[in-house]
């Protein structure tokens, strides 16, 4: 029997990489909900909407269908979005538009519709608390800001992108603050989520730990 798995946590905690690995091992689909907020930020910038203009952004989303492929490509507004969604500027813009209640409502509805069939791993900030309150397995994946900044710096350098550790650390701290202090669905650990701190764990170790939790859960289901 397939279940749904919720993974929440701060930015750069490794949620996406962990969710990708789990999806591969379990033959599940990974839905990266952050990429949907990134797509909204991209569209707002493309059409010149101010990032706090909830009315305009929500009206636009209402008349613009959005489809997410199992490989993560987002089809919207005549474009296929993937790599375009991962720059520093778009990360901060996504954090801003994700604070808008109307944007959240539209994205949550879409995420619930996609995952209704089960067999999904959703990663984000409000999955265990709002989107999939009834997910069979909930993980809160975190790591110290320093460990996350170090990982992001290494990843960027490996991709040939700018890798200034101090700057990346400050951005992570700023996004943590925005994501945990916003009025609507701030990032927090669901009461029934299992806390996994990946500061001193490798990706493989985190994946093994979560697979054990899934096995425990599915054996009793
Ligand atoms: O996971 P990410 O860094 O790609 O997410 C981009 C932004 O979207 C992040 O600042 C928080 C927001 N977000 C959210 O509010 N709710 C989600 N379920 C996923 C992401």
Q: Over range 186-205, report the average pLDDT.
A: 96
Helix locations, 63-202, DSSP H: 88-97, 101-115, 145-158, 165-181
Distance CA 63, CA 162 (A): 37
Give the pLDDT of residue 87: 79
Length of the chain counted residue by residue: 221
Which residues, listed in sequence order, are joined to residue 146 by a DSSP beta bridge?
none
DSSP 8-state code for residue 120: E
DSSP 64-89: S-EEE-TTS-EEETTEEESGGG-SHH
Atom of ligand 1 nearest to the CA of 92: 10
User: Domain map of the chain by residue range?
Assistant: 5-200
Give the pLDDT of residue 88: 75
Give the pLDDT of residue 199: 95
Give the pLDDT of residue 186: 93
Ligand 1: residues whose CB is within 6 Å?
A: 11, 33-35, 37-38, 91, 94-95, 98, 124-127, 175, 179
Q: Over range 35-42, report the average pLDDT.
A: 98
Using pLDDT thresholds of 50, 70 and 90, give the confidence band for residue 217: confident
Give the pLDDT of residue 162: 85
Q: Please give the distance of CA 83 from its chain centroid, rounded to a whole number.
A: 15
Mutate to test the pocket of ligand 1, among 31, 35, 37, 193 (most ligand atoms within 8 A of CB): 37
Using pLDDT thresholds of 50, 70 and 90, give the confidence band for residue 185: very high
Query: Is pLDDT above 90 for 9?
Result: yes
Segment 43-95, tens digit of pLDDT = 999 999 999 999 999 999 999 999 999 999 999 999 999 999 987 789 889 98
Question: What mean pLDDT value characterizes the chain?
Answer: 95
Query: Is pLDDT above 90 for 139?
Result: yes
The H or E element containing residue 210 is helix 203-220
Choose which CATH entry (3.40.50.620, 3.30.70.20, 3.40.50.410, 3.40.50.300) describes domain 5-200. 3.40.50.300
Give the pLDDT of residue 198: 95
- pTM, whole model, 2 decimals? 0.94
Q: Please give the distance of CA 179 from its chain centroid, rounded to a whole number.
A: 12
Give the pLDDT of residue 1: 83
Give the pLDDT of residue 42: 98
Give the pLDDT of residue 151: 93
On whether the CB atoms of residues 37 and 31 are closer than 8 A, the answer is no
Give the pLDDT of residue 81: 98
């Amino acid at each position: 029997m397939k279940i749904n798995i919720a993974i929440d946590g701060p930015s750069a905690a490794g949620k996406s990489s962990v969710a990708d690995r789990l999806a591969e091992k379990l033959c599940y689909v990974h839905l990266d909900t952050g990429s949907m907020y990134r797509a909204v930020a991209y569209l707002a910038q493309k059409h010149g909407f101010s990032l706090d203009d909830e009315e305009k952004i929500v009206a636009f989303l209402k008349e613009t269908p959005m489809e997410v492929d199992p490989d993560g490509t987002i089809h919207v507004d005549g474009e296929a979005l993937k790599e375009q969604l991962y720059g520093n500027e778009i990360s901060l813009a996504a954090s801003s538009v994700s604070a808008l209640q109307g944007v959240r409502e539209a994205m949550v509805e879409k995420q619930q519709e996609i995952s209704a069939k089960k067999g999904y791993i959703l990663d984000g900030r409000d999955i265990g608390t709002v989107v999939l309150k009834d997910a069979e397995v909930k993980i809160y994946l975190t790591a110290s800001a320093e460990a996350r900044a170090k990982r992001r710096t290494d990843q960027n350098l490996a991709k040939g992108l700018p890798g200034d550790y101090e700057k990346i650390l400050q951005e992570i701290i700023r996004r943590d603050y925005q994501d945990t202090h916003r009025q609507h669905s701030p990032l927090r650990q669901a009461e029934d989520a299992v806390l996994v701190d990946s500061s001193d764990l490798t990706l493989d170790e985190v994946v093994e730990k979560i697979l054990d939790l899934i096995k425990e859960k599915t054996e009793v289901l």
